[in-house]
Structure 1
Amino acid sequence: MLEIRSLTKRFGGNVAVNAVSTTIERGKVNAIIGPNGAGKTTFFNLISGVHPASEGSIVFEGQDITRLRTDQVARLGVARTFQATTLFDAATVLDNLIVGHRLRTRSGLWDVLLGTKRLKEEERTCREKARQALDFVGLAHIENRLAGDISQEERKRTAFALALATEPKLLLLDEPAGGVNPEETVGLADLIRKMVAHGLTVCLIEHKMDMIMSLADRILVLSYGEKIAEGTPAEVRANPAVIDAYLGSEHAAA
């Protein structure tokens, strides 16, 4: 689904991502791991159009998206979440999600000023898509609660729902289980499996190794911006370079 070729990003003299090549396989859970500062989030920012690449290429479903803007990448079907879940806390959970499907609408300023039929129909569709996404992530019961009043785990699920409302094909999840307890982590892992079962492709960054090793089909390992390993969880767990740079001997023995 996604092919990365010699992807490089420089910030002045700092090379955050250095000539990384990999593929993200359709219908699979792909994971990216590595120590803090390894370039994982920058890698996501390059794929989603937040930062322009210094070198290399990104090809999504046969189309070169290396130089596209964030909104253009999103319209092609690439959605993402962020490490910090930022919502409109004074708005309801449902209202936070309505904006997601706006990516697929055509109404403009004149539609708003004139209150056109198209605007009203698209508003209704956005609300329906938001409710569908909330139901999918198991939060239909809190649609009218203020986003500022929900738990961290519910915020994570809301972020998933917001991404789903854009109707993505590929979902990039940046530390989806960050800040939640072990039981909630299991629930989020089950939700990711549910997404894949419904036809989505997932790529996630995560530090919780038990979750990654049980969830991922393939793992890419970054260290200091470079790829040091790639393979199945078993292959990565046994790789001496990965053990030395990140996992430690306790994971190798697991």
Structure 2
Amino acid sequence: MLEIEHLTKRFGGNTAVNSVSTSIEKGKINAIIGPNGAGKTTFFNLISGVHKPSEGTITFEGRDITTLRTDEVARLGIARTFQATTLFDKASVLDNLIVGHRLRTRSGLIDVIFGSARLKEEERVCREKAREALDFVGLAHLENRVAGDITQEERKRVAFALALATAPKLLLLDEPAGGVNPEETLGLAELIRKMVKHDFTVCLIEHKMDMIMSLADKILVLSYGEKIAEGTPAEVRANPAVIDAYLGSDHADV
């Protein structure tokens, strides 16, 4: 689905991502791990168009997206969440999600001024898609709750729903289980599995190794911006370079 060749990003004299080549496989749970400062979030920012690469190419479903803007990347079907879940806290949960499907609408200023039929139909569809996404993540009962009043785990699910409301093919999840307890982590892992069962492809960054090792089909390991390993959880867990750079002996196969 996504092919990445020699991807590099430099910020002045600092190389955050250094000639990384990999692929994200369709219908799979792909994961990126590595120590803090390894370049994982920069890697996501390059794929989603937040940053432009210094070198290398990104190809999505056969199309070169290396230099596209974030909105262009999103319209092609790549959605992402962020480490910090930022919502419109004074708006309802449903109103937060309506924003997501606006990516697929065409109404402009003239439609707003005259209250056109197209505007009204698109508003109806946006609300419908928002409800579908909220139901998918198990929060249909919260649609009228003010976003600032929901729990951290619920905010994570709303972030998933916001990404789903954009009608994506590939979801980039940046630390989806950050800040939630072990029981909630298990629930979010099940939700990620549900996404893949419904034909979404997932790539996630996560520090919770028990979650990653039980969830991912394929893992890419970054350290100081470079790829040091790639493979199945079993292959990564047994890789001496990964054990030394990140996992430690506690996660090594014995």
Give the drift of 1:253.
3.6
Q: Which amino acid in the other structure matches residue 252 of structure 1?
A: A
Q: Which amino acid in the other structure matches residue 244 of structure 1?
A: D
* Residue deviations 1:57-78 (CA, integer Å, cap 9, x gap): 0000000000000000000000
Q: TM-score, normalised by structure 2?
A: 1.00
Question: What is the rounded CA distance, in whole Å, between the counterparts of 2:219 and 2:7 in structure 1?
Answer: 17
Indicate whether 1:99 and 2:99 are aligned. yes
Indicate whether 1:246 and 2:243 are aligned. no
Residue 207 of structure 2 aligns with which residue? 207
* Residue deviations 1:140-190 (CA, integer Å, cap 9, x gap): 000000000000000000000000000000000000000000000000000
Question: What is the rounded CA distance, in whole Å, between the counterparts of 2:85 and 2:8 in structure 1?
Answer: 27
Question: What is the rounded CA distance, in whole Å, between the counterparts of 2:252 and 2:113 in structure 1?
Answer: 62
Question: What is the rounded CA distance, in whole Å, between the counterparts of 1:193 and 1:168 in structure 2?
Answer: 16
Give the drift of 1:251.
0.3
Structure 2 residue ranges without an equivalent (≥5): none
Question: What is the rounded CA distance, in whole Å, between the counterparts of 1:52 and 1:230 in structure 2?
Answer: 24
Residue 139 of structure 1 aligns with which residue? 139
Question: What is the rounded CA distance, in whole Å, between the counterparts of 1:196 and 1:110 in structure 2?
Answer: 39
Identity of aligned residues (%): 85
Superposition pairs of residues 175-194 of structure 1, within 5 angstroms: 175-194=175-194
Question: What is the rounded CA distance, in whole Å, between the counterparts of 1:14 and 1:109 in structure 2?
Answer: 43
Superposition pairs of residues 161-172 of structure 1, within 5 angstroms: 161-172=161-172
- RMSD across aligned C-alpha pairs, in angstroms? 0.5
Residue 54 of structure 2 aligns with which residue? 54
Question: What is the rounded CA distance, in whole Å, between the counterparts of 1:215 and 1:113 in structure 2?
Answer: 49
Residue 25 of structure 1 aligns with which residue? 25
* Residue deviations 1:121-145 (CA, integer Å, cap 9, x gap): 0000000000000000000000000
Question: What is the rounded CA distance, in whole Å, between the counterparts of 1:99 and 1:147 in structure 2?
Answer: 14
Task: Indicate the SS of the match to 1:56.
Answer: strand
Question: What is the rounded CA distance, in whole Å, between the counterparts of 1:10 and 1:111 in structure 2?
Answer: 43
Residue 153 of structure 1 aligns with which residue? 153
Task: Indicate the SS of the match to 1:111.
Answer: helix
Question: What is the rounded CA distance, in whole Å, between the counterparts of 2:128 and 2:109 in structure 1?
Answer: 22
Superposition pairs of residues 111-130 of structure 1, within 5 angstroms: 111-130=111-130
Question: What is the rounded CA distance, in whole Å, between the counterparts of 2:4 and 2:113 in structure 1?
Answer: 43
* Residue deviations 1:4-40 (CA, integer Å, cap 9, x gap): 0000000000000000000000000000000000000
Task: Indicate the SS of the match to 2:98.
Answer: helix
Question: What is the rounded CA distance, in whole Å, between the counterparts of 2:217 and 2:189 in structure 1?
Answer: 13
* Residue deviations 1:232-253 (CA, integer Å, cap 9, x gap): 0000000000000000001004
* Residue deviations 1:204-242 (CA, integer Å, cap 9, x gap): 000000000000000000000000000000000000000
Count of aligned pairs between the two proteins: 254
Q: Which amino acid in the other structure matches residue 229 of structure 2?
A: A
Question: What is the rounded CA distance, in whole Å, between the counterparts of 1:141 and 1:182 in structure 2?
Answer: 23
Task: Indicate the SS of the match to 1:9.
Answer: strand
Question: What is the rounded CA distance, in whole Å, between the counterparts of 1:74 and 1:109 in structure 2?
Answer: 22
Task: Indicate the SS of the match to 1:4.
Answer: strand
Question: What is the rounded CA distance, in whole Å, between the counterparts of 1:15 and 1:97 in structure 2?
Answer: 36
Residue 224 of structure 1 aligns with which residue? 224
Structure 1 residue ranges without an equivalent (≥5): none
Q: TM-score, normalised by structure 1?
A: 1.00
Q: Which amino acid in the other structure matches residue 62 of structure 1?
A: G
Task: Indicate the SS of the match to 1:84.
Answer: coil
Question: What is the rounded CA distance, in whole Å, between the counterparts of 1:246 and 1:68 in structure 2?
Answer: 33
Question: What is the rounded CA distance, in whole Å, between the counterparts of 1:114 and 1:53 in structure 2?
Answer: 42
Question: What is the rounded CA distance, in whole Å, between the counterparts of 2:109 and 2:151 in structure 1?
Answer: 36
